[in-house]
Chain A
Amino acid sequence: MSPSTPSGRDVLRESVRGQRRDVALGSLLGSGHQLGEALVPVLIGVVIDRAVTKSDTGALVLWLGVLAVVYVGLALSWRFGAWSGDRSAARAEHTLRIALVRRVLHPGGGAEEGRLPGALANIATEDAKRVGAVNMAVMYGISALVGILTTAVVLLRTSVTLGLVVLLGTPVLLWLGHLLSKPLETRSATEQERAAHASAVAADLVAGLRILKGIGGESTAIARYRTTSRDSLQATLKAARAQAFQSGMVLTLTGCLIAVVALVGGRLAAQGTISLGQLVSAVGLALFLLGPLQVLAWVNAGLAQGRASATRIAEVLATPHTVTAGDRILAQPVRGAVRLTGVSHGGLREVDLDIASGELLGVVATDPAHATDLLRCLARRADPDSGTVELDGVALRDLDPAELRTAMLVAEHDADLFEGTVRDNVTAGAPDSADPEPAMTAAGVAQVAETLPGGEDTAVGERGRSLSGGQRQRVALARALAADRPVLVVHDPTTAVDAVTEAGIASGIREIRKGRTTVLVTTSPALLSVTDRVVLLDDGRVTDTAPHADLIARHETYRTAVLA
């Protein structure tokens, strides 16, 4: 996308411009196809006129030959024109999808805030598809216009009166149809929404099947679903009736148009103004004209949808970054000294904290929300409202967030695993040459691998779902350790891990991170006991700092937070 904060219009324009060659070729060939389709009824008329009426075998052969040529032409231009159109749509969709993913993953962040993952994924699929389809709509729109133009020329050349009847009659007919169906459409849209509700409820119940069975709620759920299904049925039936009425109406209107064309054309033919064949062509063309006119209506709807989707896409692309890149760089090698000065953010109030290079620090927050706020500042998912966070004396807000993350890793409690094997996940953030084994041993992944059918080569499924909560946690921790960053901040890495394993992990972390700055944000005594010292964050402030055992001995709040 060229502009930095694109509008919906920009997105749409870029999308078509990127595929202009295909769109142009498609429009050209599509027009050829429309021309051919318009000629078929004309040629039927000509055959009746020249061959059937006059019993002329030569003319029959000649005009059937012409019809064959027209067929070959329209078939081939359809084949290649539609291909260009579809290809441009698919490619434009793909390009948009990738642009969206790049924006979401941008180190500055921001795009996913306030949007559910499902909604974002939907924008990257459905909305991208609709914007891509605009390419096709443009192509079909141009072709339909050419088809209409051809029909107009043929009809007007035959007879101005008849031509005008058809050319004015068909749009009026479509407009009437549209007018009649408009209230039905809006009504049926809401009804269809209610109808779709039934399947959503069913899917939801099945998704919670285990929970339902756990509490014996099946009968209630079944009774409730039946009510929903009946409600849905009533709504669907209303919508279906409306739709049936609309179909009938369109048929009647079309039939009336044909009657009018037949009346006018028939009288003209009876007066000898036009030939029999021209009458037949006119009727055929009137029917044909409905096609391109309907295409135009479809194109219009497609463009409207495309515009709405383009706006949604543009909103995501134009979301401001939560943090911006500064222009200072870290001195290499990174020592890993972290200092917080007067940091206020969320629930944190003027937190001062000095983490020495190579220290293993524990942080206990009495309110989990404060722990999250601290992690946000350290990970630079947000900049503090006031105060500064520094790494090796450089304020984080003066750094490129991407570079910061190469030096300091904040491993969140709810970190996601990705599809791939256990080993793939562990090595995801590790330097290429690094051996992941020590990290796997330290995080207790070795034991996890033993129980898996394929060991460390077992696939973990999407988002690691084929692993249990505790297994996932250990793999995520191993990944954080294997990434081998100068500074590592870990949040609650062992909540789903049993006590024995947890103790092993605690000493494993201490061992593998020896000499490098590590912060454990947790209330687990097993982890805290291996730290050099612990900082207690109470009510958003640092209220005490000392080794774990000392705090246990002297601080009541700490005891409650850690041992309750």
Chain B
Amino acid sequence: MSDSPDTPATGPTGAAPDDGSALDFGSEPAGRELLPTATPARTRAAVRELVRPRRGLAVAGFAAMIVATGVGLLVQPLLGRIVDIVADHRPPGDITLPVVLLVLVALAQGATTALGLSLVSRLGETVLARLRERFVEKALRLPLEQVEKAGAGDLTARVTRDVSVVGEAVRDALPELARSLLAIALTLAAMAALDWRFFLAALIAVPVQASTARWYVRNAVPLYGRQRIATGSQQQQLLDTVAGAGTVRAFRLEEEHTERVTRRSSAAVELTLRGVRLVLDFYNRLHIAEYAGLAAVLVTGFLLVRGGSVSIGTATAAALYFHSLFTPVNAALVLLDDAQSATAALARLVGVADQPSPEPEKPEAGKSEAEKRAHAPRPRTAAEAEAKAGGTVTVTGIHHAYEPGRPVLHDVDLTLRAGERVALVGPSGAGKTTLAKLIAGVHRPTAGSVRVTTNGAGESRDGVPVALVTQETHVFAGPLADDLRLARAGATDAELRTALTAVSALDWVVALPEGLDTVVGEGGHRLTSAQVQQLALARLVLADPPVAVLDEATAEAGSTGARLLEQAADRAVDGRTALVVAHRLTQAATADRIVVMDGGRIVESGTHDELCAAAGVYASLWEAWSGTRATADQTPTHHRPDTTTLKDH
């Protein structure tokens, strides 16, 4: 058991020395509350629900497949008939009729197979599409707290690996399995129709096949699980090493990293070969079954022909039938494995898709719901329009602990007045980020309450009352304009430009190869981390929430970049109630009020001048900072106009 990425530093940590199982989404790290998985019964019911509206399609598809397989089974008796014509020394011209029939069978079989396969895949694909839509809908609505408890890897794994496993099963395994099973069933029936004793003879192979299949699944499932882990950790190591190549070279770690990759790659190779051996042993056993069945059918044919109860042609047809069973039987047995993993993946998808739909707006803000709704939109006064400021945040008596016994916040009271910009300052581990998350509604406090009161200005849009921007950098794949419109769906290009201007990003955006339409994100044009943060701030401007929480939104940009981002952030929160977790004291010093935290408590609160005068924690922080700037007499000015853009470097 080991950790997935994004484990909070306070979380449980695997001690396995060689874990590297960042892609090991299958294993369940101890202490994690994974997202729910549906029971087999519930999974079946969910599939039935999805299929029900398309019952006609399902019936037609399977009917076509049955006809196709049934028609195909006429081939062997027709061949047997030719054998009989020859054996009875009838004129060669008699062969023409069965041959023509063979051609007709071929045409009919081809047509019905094409029809059946296309209907079955239409059914499968449509159901799959509905399922993934429902899954994504529920997944995006999951409370962040639940997602974080499960580890971000859990949801990602479900949306990538599980969806693709089910998709592949629907696309390849399902039609193939249906065809194979039908072929097996109908072929056995046809053999029974020739003579019931052929059927009995064919069954001799079944015990061997059944036990082989059981043996295979028993060994294959855990082995493939380990294989996935090994391949995942090899991939992870490769990414680690390749992405960090500069660092590897700088520290002369070339040999060590080559060694790391070699180790992981060897492990993956070893497991791959173990899987190969398993499959080969599997086929070996099936060869035994094939031989036993074939010999039995031939002996039966021999005895029945000698006894005069069947013709040579019938015996031939039976042998050919059995020979033609090899392919579908092998296919069906191999697919058992796929079917098993697809079922498990399906259960994980249904588990999330079945989640009760929370209210579209943040339920975490719980106690504030009533108040938010109580304020019907009212005409805005000139003063309000001027201030645009819409939200008051009242934090009362909050205690919080991620794990019982490890409290992070103690008895925190804080009020953010409408339009006020408050900087949160304190050493690492003081609880700043936790407080920010509680106010943004990501977590529910262990005790105490967070109230957000909006005055109506923010309710004209169906956005969130409190928006959160963190240092997390993600750009949504696709045109840049689409990324921005996630914050405001109907925004015009002019509105997008205004928002980009506000965060000093318009210059580089219009300089992109296709301006606002440039494809960014995964596989698209690469943006610098500072540019990504500017986009995050532009989204904030577009979402236009009454309250904004900024947590280290400027930390990743390097010091010069950080300053430009701070200015962009200032403009983005202009006129909003804002809580800014500040690392650089210059940013704090320009705020309306500074709140200092230490050890999970608020220890000071006031304006820059008040706190400096108070000679407390902040004053000493400022001392550490300004000791170096004794000559800088002025406190930084608020809202400095600045048009500098961040260069793409």
Contact = CB atoms under 8 A, between A and B. Distances in A.
B125 A83 contact: no
Nearest to A457: B15
Nearest to B483: A208
A203 B159 contact: yes
Contact of A216 (B79, B160, B467, B556): B467
Interface in B308-329: 312, 315-316, 319-320, 323-324
Contacts of A146: none
Contact of B103 (A206, A243, A255, A461): A255
A232 B562 CA distance: 41
Given A64-B298, A83-B277, A204-B522, A52 B305 contact: yes
Interface in B65-100: 72, 75, 78-79, 82-83, 85-87, 89-92, 95-96, 98-100
Contact of B75 (A71, A255, A269): A255
A528 B625 CA distance: 11
A164 to B, nearest CB: 18
Given A124-B238, A211-B536, A105 B245 contact: yes
Nearest to B129: A233
A236 B7 contact: no
A343 interface: no
Interface string B100-134: 10110111011111111110011001100100110
Contact of A525 (B90, B288, B628): B628
A379 interface: yes
A48 B315 contact: yes
Given A52-B315, A412-B247, A501-B427, A94 B99 contact: no
Contacts of A207: 156, 474
A308 interface: no
A279 interface: yes
B22 A462 contact: yes
A225 B239 CA distance: 29
A82 interface: yes
Contacts of A526: 624-625, 628
B621 A500 contact: yes
A402 B126 CA distance: 57
B507 to A, nearest CB: 15
B463 interface: yes
Contacts of B463: 215-216
Instruction: Name the residue in B118, B543, B621 with the highest tally of chain A Cβ atoms < 10 Å from its Cβ.
Output: B118
A60 to B, nearest CB: 5
Interface in A217-249: 217-226, 229-230, 232-233, 236-237, 240-241, 243-245, 247-249
Interface in B6-32: 6-15, 19-20, 22
A458 B245 contact: no
B163 A368 contact: no
A323 to B, nearest CB: 11
Contacts of B585: 499
Nearest to B646: A368
A497 interface: yes
Nearest to B296: A64
Given A259-B103, A453-B10, A202 B163 contact: yes
Contacts of B190: none
A468 B125 contact: no
A406 B249 CA distance: 10
Contacts of A205: 136, 140, 476
Given A203-B160, A213-B144, A552-B632, A524 B559 contact: yes
B83 A117 contact: no
A349 interface: no
Given A266-B92, A416-B247, A225 B136 contact: yes
A453 B13 contact: yes
Interface stretch (A6-14, A152-160, A297-305, A556-564): A556-564
B566 to A, nearest CB: 9
B79 to A, nearest CB: 6
Interface string B36-48: 0000000000000
A414 B426 CA distance: 24
Interface stretch (B211-219, B330-338, B378-386, B484-492): B484-492
Nearest to B490: A220
Contacts of B561: 368
B106 A256 contact: yes
Interface in B467-489: 467-472, 474-478, 482, 485-487, 489
B295 A67 contact: yes
Contacts of A91: 269
Interface stretch (B191-199, B229-237, B444-452, B602-610): B229-237
B631 A198 contact: no
B424 to A, nearest CB: 11
Contacts of B19: 419, 459
A105 B258 contact: yes
A85 B454 CA distance: 69
A442 interface: no
Given A74-B287, A230-B129, A279 B159 contact: no
Contact of A105 (B13, B248, B319, B542): B248
A215 B250 contact: no
Interface in B126-183: 126, 129, 132-133, 135-137, 139-141, 144, 147, 152, 155-156, 159-160, 163-164, 167, 171
Interface residues of A, number: 181
A258 B324 CA distance: 13
Contacts of B269: 90-91, 93-94
Contacts of B301: 48, 52
B429 interface: yes
A255 B106 contact: yes
Contacts of A312: none
Nearest to B539: A215
A247 B65 CA distance: 12
A422 to B, nearest CB: 10
Contact of B87 (A53, A256, A466, A492): A53
Contact of A458 (B13, B171, B360): B13
B291 A259 contact: no
Interface string A374-401: 0000010100000000000000000001
Interface string B361-393: 110000000000000000000000000000000
Nearest to A108: B249
Interface stretch (A95-103, A327-335, A510-518): A95-103
A258 B121 contact: no
Nearest to B623: A503
B460 interface: no
A2 B240 CA distance: 27
B358 to A, nearest CB: 10
Interface string B554-589: 011111111100000000000000000001111000
Contacts of B256: 428
A75 interface: yes
A1 B439 CA distance: 58
Contacts of B583: 470, 495-499
B220 to A, nearest CB: 16
B420 interface: no
A298 B496 CA distance: 51
A18 interface: no
B243 A469 contact: no
Contact of A244 (B85, B117, B629): B117
B616 interface: no
A465 B306 CA distance: 77
Interface string A527-564: 01100000000000000000011001100000101011
A280 B560 contact: no
B467 A270 contact: no
Given A206-B156, A418-B247, A492-B558, 6 more contacts: A60-B302, A125-B238, A229-B129, A266-B86, A368-B558, A549-B630
Task: Give the 7 A-B CB pairs with smallest separation, nearest first.
Answer: A255-B106, A248-B114, A252-B110, A429-B251, A216-B464, A416-B244, A244-B117
9 contacts: A121-B242, A215-B539, A216-B361, A262-B95, A263-B99, A279-B83, A468-B9, A503-B625, A503-B627
